[in-house]
Amino acid sequence: MEVALTWNLVILAVFVMLFAYNFLLGQNATLKLILSIYIAVLTSDGVAKILKEFIIDPSPGIQSLLEGSGNQFFTGLRLILFLTAMVFFAVKGAFHISVQKHDHWALRTAIHAVFAILSSTLFLSTVLIYLSGNSFVEGMMFAKEIDIYRESLLAQILIDYYQFWFSLPAIGFLVTSFLFEGKEKD
């Protein structure tokens, strides 16, 4: 039996690995990772925009070095900034997540699985957006030009509906906050 390597298979394999990793982290660390991804997205987009507007655009020397490859440079820059910021916020972030545990193990496992799926999807869609040369803050311009978009239905879904994937974990936080509503201490 021969399995053809396609972008859909690669994306699915990465998704399964990220899901398993999130499950191994535990629920609190998975939630911290989601928050770290949110902060890293805004950080990488903001820093890349600042560098572009205040350092690279006013400098004719840097522009001549980047001539013809400016989009590739900013794609790599955003991706490196995103991954670096995400790791720093997840490992050394000055915030701690502590979610109350639900009494029933099956519900705890289901909620953790949902957040593991949301974290994996958010990470994958963010990386695909950055690889397509786009920015969450600036919007979509180049997504349909990359090969993975044309060859993979999963990549199309992750890129086309990135606002949905970006907002879904926040909605999940809100919904679970009603499930784990703590009792006030007197």
Using the predicted structure, report yes or no on whether residue 45 has a pLDDT greater than 80: yes
pTM confidence score: 0.80
> Does any domain span residue 186?
no
Q: Is residue 136 within 8 Å of residue 38, measured between CB atoms? A: no
Over residues 104-123, the mean pLDDT reads 90
pLDDT of residue 65: 73
> Does any domain span residue 113?
yes
Using the predicted structure, report yes or no on whether residue 186 has a pLDDT greater than 60: no
Question: Rounded to whole angstroms, what are the CA distances from 55 to 48, 62, 63, 137?
Answer: 10, 9, 10, 19
**Token pair 């009792």: residue:** 183
Partnered with residue 139 across adjacent β-strands are 135
> Does any domain span residue 81?
yes
> Does any domain span residue 184?
no
pLDDT of residue 140: 60
Per cent of the chain over pLDDT 70 is 90
Please tell me which residue, 48 or 178, carries the higher pLDDT value: 48
> Does any domain span residue 185?
no
- Quick one: pLDDT band at residue 155, thresholds 50, 70, 90? confident
> Does any domain span residue 159?
yes
> Does any domain span residue 62?
yes
pLDDT of residue 18: 95
Compute the C-alpha angle 108/117/109, nearest 5°.
15
Per cent of the chain over pLDDT 90 is 26
pLDDT of residue 139: 62
Using the predicted structure, report yes or no on whether residue 59 has a pLDDT greater than 80: no
> Does any domain span residue 117?
yes
Please tell me which residue, 162 or 179, carries the higher pLDDT value: 162
**What is the number of structural domains in the chain?**
1
Domain that holds residue 166: 7-93+101-179
- Quick one: pLDDT band at residue 36, thresholds 50, 70, 90? very high
Over residues 89-109, the mean pLDDT reads 80
